[in-house]
């Protein structure tokens, strides 16, 4: 009988030691460095099971012992909270850090910057080229309705949803800006302001010039002078806003609804998607007498209140270009 008791004690002691050793190994594994040598990114599709997620990480060298990882995740209840998405795993990331990240849904956040002055066609191409976005854009997008900004999104977000955010941003900006416009402007609606802002945006990308360029067009509108803006001619010929050649005199004479060398006043709609600064310049322009501007040939523009002064600026520009 004593021998039996002694044997039982030995068995129990061995079991306790084994359990302790297993617990110690599990604790070491849980908090210790993982095997990943360098940063890696994995995508877990919606609906993917916990088992498949664990197997994906093991195949990618992110975790060392998939069975133990599963056991700990089940024991802690974390496997119930694993979320689909795109995750970025740091080198040597511990199983504890991995579980916390996936359970919290700390997915990779992407960003896309829409520059000021792009046309709708150009913006749609940028979205099409972004592989982390999903879905197609099925609706027609009105030119000038998309706000140029930096937008954040996660893997699988829909392109159409991002377009909706751009449209909402532009709608809010135009409404707010219109409420704080300067008095006596020669246009009557927010849409007309947006159209003029798109022309200003295409004429100059220099922050300090937008207001003065806007003042030239506003002064022309007040005097019933044609705007004579080259970018409007380009847009009338190609809605992408880009020609593979320079404009010709024939182009300037070709009637289109957007050719401001031919039509009076503003074209029927924007020719691009302007940014905040261009819209602010149009709605709160500086007071000037300028009616003309021409490129300097070295960046920026020269402005003039009279045709005589403008012709002199044009002559200087041509001489500079000829020397270059």
Per-residue DSSP letters for 137-192?
--S---TT-S---EEEEETT-BHHHHHHHHHHHHHHHHHHHHHTPPTT-S--SHHH
The Cβ-side half-sphere exposure at 75, using a 13 Å CA radius, reads: 11
Residues 110/132, Cβ–Cβ less than 8 Å: yes
**pLDDT for res 29:** 64
The Cα 134–Cα 285 span in angstroms is: 41
Q: How far apart are CA 162 and CA 155, in angstroms?
A: 12
* Euclidean distance between CA atoms 296 and 298, whole angstroms: 5
Quickly list H helices, 180-284: 190-203, 210-222, 230-237, 249-253, 276-283
Give CA–CA dist 63/284, Å, rounded. 59
| Residues in CB range of 303: below 8 A, 6 or more apart | 212, 216, 288, 290, 292, 293
Residue closest to 83 by CA, chosen among 43, 116, 56: 43
Element (H, E) at 89: strand 85-89
> What number of CA atoms fall less than 13 Å from residue 87's CA on the CB side?
26
Output the pLDDT for position 2. Answer: 53
With tokens 């905040």, the residue in question is: 276
Tell me the domains of the chain and their CATH numbers: 36-107 (3.30.1490.480), 111-169 (no CATH), 187-323 (no CATH)
C-alpha span between 174 and 198 (Å, rounded): 12
The distance from CA 236 to its chain's CA centroid, rounded to whole angstroms, is 27
> pLDDT at position 138, please?
86
* Cβ neighbours around 104 below 10 Å, total: 11
Name 304's bridge partners.
Answer: 292
Residue-level pLDDT, tens digit, the chain, 324 residues:
555 454 444 444 344 444 444 444 444 567 889 999 999 999 999 888 888 999 999 999 999 988 999 998 998 888 888 889 999 999 999 999 999 999 999 999 999 999 999 999 999 999 999 999 999 998 899 999 999 999 999 999 999 999 999 999 999 999 999 999 999 999 999 999 999 999 999 999 899 999 999 999 999 999 999 999 999 999 999 998 888 899 999 999 999 999 999 999 999 999 999 999 999 999 999 999 999 999 998 889 999 999 999 999 999 999 888 887
Please tell me the predicted confidence (pLDDT) of residue 24: 45
C-alpha span between 174 and 276 (Å, rounded): 9
**Coil, helix or strand at residue 42:** strand
What is the rounded distance in angstroms from the CA atom of residue 277 to the CA atom of residue 147? 12
Name the 3-class secondary structure at 109. strand
């Amino acid at each position: 009988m004593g021998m039996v008791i002694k044997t039982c004690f030995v068995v129990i002691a061995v079991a306790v030691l084994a359990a302790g050793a297993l617990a110690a190994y599990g604790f070491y594994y849980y908090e210790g460095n993982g095997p990943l040598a360098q940063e890696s990114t994995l995508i877990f599709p919606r609906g993917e099971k916990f088992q498949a997620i664990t197997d994906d990480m093991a195949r990618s060298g992110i975790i060392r012992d998939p069975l133990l990882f599963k056991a700990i995740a089940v024991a802690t209840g974390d496997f119930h909270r694993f979320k689909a998405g795109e995750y970025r795993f740091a080198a040597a990331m511990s199983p504890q850090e991995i579980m916390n990240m996936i359970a919290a849904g700390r997915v990779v956040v992407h960003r896309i910057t829409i520059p000021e002055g792009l046309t709708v066609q150009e913006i749609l191409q940028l979205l099409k080229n972004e592989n982390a976005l999903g879905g197609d854009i099925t609706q027609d997008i009105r030119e000038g309705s998309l706000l140029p900004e930096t937008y954040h999104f996660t893997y699988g977000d829909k392109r159409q949803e991002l377009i909706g955010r751009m449209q909402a941003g532009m709608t809010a900006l135009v409404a707010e800006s219109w409420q704080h416009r300067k008095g006596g402007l020669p246009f009557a609606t927010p849409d007309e302001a947006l159209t003029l802002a798109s022309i200003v945006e295409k004429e100059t990308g220099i922050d300090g010039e937008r207001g003065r360029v806007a003042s030239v067009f506003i002064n022309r509108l007040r005097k019933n002078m044609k705007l004579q803006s080259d970018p409007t001619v380009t847009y009338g010929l190609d809605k992408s806003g880009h020609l593979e050649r320079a404009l010709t005199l024939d182009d300037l004479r070709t009637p289109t609804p957007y050719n401001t060398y031919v039509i009076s006043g503003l074209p029927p709609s924007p020719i691009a998607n302007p940014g905040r600064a261009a819209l602010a310049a149009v709605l709160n322009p500086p007071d000037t007498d300028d009616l003309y501007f021409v490129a300097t040939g070295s960046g920026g523009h020269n402005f003039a209140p009279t045709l005589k002064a403008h012709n002199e600026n044009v002559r200087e520009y041509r001489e500079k270009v000829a020397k270059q």
